[in-house]
Amino acid sequence: MIVMKFGGTSVEDASSIQRVSEIIRERLAYRPVVVVSAMGKTTRKLLQAAEASAAGDGRTTLGIVADLKTRHLSEARRLLQNSTRAESGSETFELIDRYFDELKKLLEGLAILGDVPPRGLDKILSYGELLSSTVLAGALSSSGIPAKLVDSRSFIKTDDRYGSARPLFDVTYATTRGALLPVLETGAVPVAQGYIGSTRDGATTTLGFEGSDYTAAIIGAALCAADIQIWKDVSGLMTADPAVCPAARTVESCSYAEAAELTCFGAKVLHPNAVFPAAERKIPVHIYNSKRPGDTGTSITSAGGQSGRPVKSIAYKKPVTLIKISAGCDEASGGPFREEEMLRSLTRALRRRHIAPLITAATGSGVVFVTDSAQLAGEAGKYFIDELSRLGALSIEDRQAIISLVGDRLPTSRNLASLVFNCVGDAGIGMIHYGSSPITMNFLVADTDAEKVVIRLHELLFDKEVS
Ligand code: ADP
Ligand code: MG
């Protein structure tokens, strides 16, 4: 069997969903399990509705809900209008109605509360995927493909870190097999929601931004799938973000390690965690374009593959913040700086705040780390900085971007660093760092220069001869 995951842009309207149905139909012989994200932009709208409701703005809330309902119903009608299977059609519309009734009640609850608790928000956001999967399953059935809607919350079991819940793998692998194998045995295509799961006591959770890829990888690993296919609006993992760099082209093959580094450092094409379950069981991951299903796409495997160039792809992430903690004397003992001590205290502080830095390094006189600036926002961020200032003198550089060059031939490329320095030129490099993995070279530039630098580097590394 295979897993096929369709992102928000692949199911944004009836004609996209029709295209997806045909892609699935052509692969029925591989016994697909389908995973789907919310219809494009729905998650963001649900978040806006929750915030508006908690702020007492009932008009905005109802307006957003009405728009979402109209959109889901009208796309479903377009897909199911010719259905000869009247029964599955009416089930689809009943379910959509029921979901919107539930959603309205939940939003009313937030208005009374005057707040958006993370647990309540996860429940509200889950309706995006519940709705899109209902529409897709209805569309498949009405076009004669046997489909069965399954609720991912019944088998993706997670901890209770709402907003970025972590799967409990042992339970989840067993429950996933238990939920999906019987459906596959009947010859039907299971249609499951990406992004959502539930705690052991049944509360809805979400797996973090773009978590649907993660769901697909977990299902693929649980069922030992032959292939995990991620269908998007781009023809695979590209040499840079095509939205920034129009010259970007498809990377035909790369390794799990390269994909993990790229996604961790900002290549939005895959959820950073999605690589691991697949890599562990050596299941290939393919990234394809649902709008151009004939394109080759990217194949991610253990072996990777050679492109003949030192860098496979350029990723970037912004804004990030660079924090340096310099140690003076150890006050308690009056002795010199103890590096391990400081690293240990930093690690504890990071863990308490659930901050996973992108880079951490110890130097002779202190520690430096780079983190997503969003993790330092708000009151919690202030407390964290306060905590750090007790470890030593702080220097904070915000509004930075981290640019990452990734490729398994990087370690053999002798002149890459000097090429990069020349290329970045007047933009200036804040910090240069070879990753803990030798296939990555990271450096910082001012966030406003990031796109310019990516374009220049892409030209240098992919349009000219560099070895
Ligand atoms: P979906 O929600 O359909 O799964 P997204 O829109 O979330 O897809 O992610 C795809 C986007 O990721 C692309 O439109 C592209 O702009 C961006 N992207 C960033 N880096 C890369 C890259 N290296 N290769 C391909 N796409 C990338
Ligand atoms: Mg998306």
- What residue segments make up the domains of the chain, in order of their start? 2-233, 313-463
pLDDT band, very low/low/confident/very high, at 122 (cuts 50, 70, 90) = very high
Asked whether residue 428 carries a pLDDT value surpassing 80, the answer given is: no
User: In the prediction, which pLDDT does 454 show?
Assistant: 96
Q: Is 387 in the pocket of ligand 1 (CB under 6 A)?
A: no
Ligand nearest, relative to CA of residue 6: 1
Cα of 119 to ligand 1 centre, how many Å? 28
The whole-number average pLDDT for the span 384-398 is 93
Token pair for 158: 């997670």
Q: Please give the pLDDT value at position 227.
A: 98
Give percent above pLDDT 90 in the chain.
79
> Is any ligand 1 atom within 6 A of the Cβ of residue 232?
yes
Alpha-carbon distance 301 to 253, whole Å?
A: 8
Q: Which ligand is nearest to the CA of 43?
A: 2
Mark the residues whose beta carbon lies below 5 A from ion ligand 2: 7-8
Please indicate whether the domains covering 2-233 and 313-463 agree at the CATH topology level. no
Ligand 1 center–CA 338 separation, angstroms:
43
Q: Which segment, 31-35, 367-371, 462-466, is predicted with the most confidence on average?
A: 31-35
**CATH of the domain spanning 313-463:** 3.30.2130.10
Atom of ligand 1 nearest to the CA of 262: 23
Ligand 2 centroid to residue 116 C-alpha, Å: 23
* Euclidean distance between CA atoms 5 and 243, whole angstroms: 22
* pLDDT, averaged across the chain: 92
Expressed in angstroms and rounded, the spacing between residue 466 Cα and the centre of ligand 1 is 26
Please tell me if the CB atom of residue 249 comes closer than 6 angstroms to any atom of ligand 1: no
When pLDDT is averaged across residues 30-45 and rounded to a whole number, the result is 97
In this structure, which amino acid lies at residue 258? E
Write the burial class of residue 82 (CB in 10 Å: 0-12 exposed, 13-18 middle, 19+ buried): exposed
pTM over 0.85: yes
pLDDT in tens, 101-110: 999 999 999 9
Whole-angstrom distance, CA of residue 320 vs CA of residue 371: 5
Residue type, 415: N
- Kindly compute the dihedral angle of the four CA atoms of residues 164, 167, 168, 172, in this order, to the nearest 10 degrees: 150
The pair of three-digit structure tokens given for residue 120, joined into one six-digit string: 């309540």
The CATH topology of domain 2-233 is: Carbamate kinase (3.40.1160)
State residue 453's pLDDT score. 93
CB of residue 242 inside a 6 A radius of ligand 1: yes
pLDDT of residue 307: 78
pLDDT digits (tens, 9 = 90+) for 437-455: 789 999 999 999 999 999 9
The SS3 of residue 71 is helix
Instruction: Confirm or reject: Cβ of 228 under 6 Å from ligand 1.
Output: no
Per residue in 277-312, pLDDT (tens digit) is: 999 999 999 999 999 999 999 999 999 887 778 899
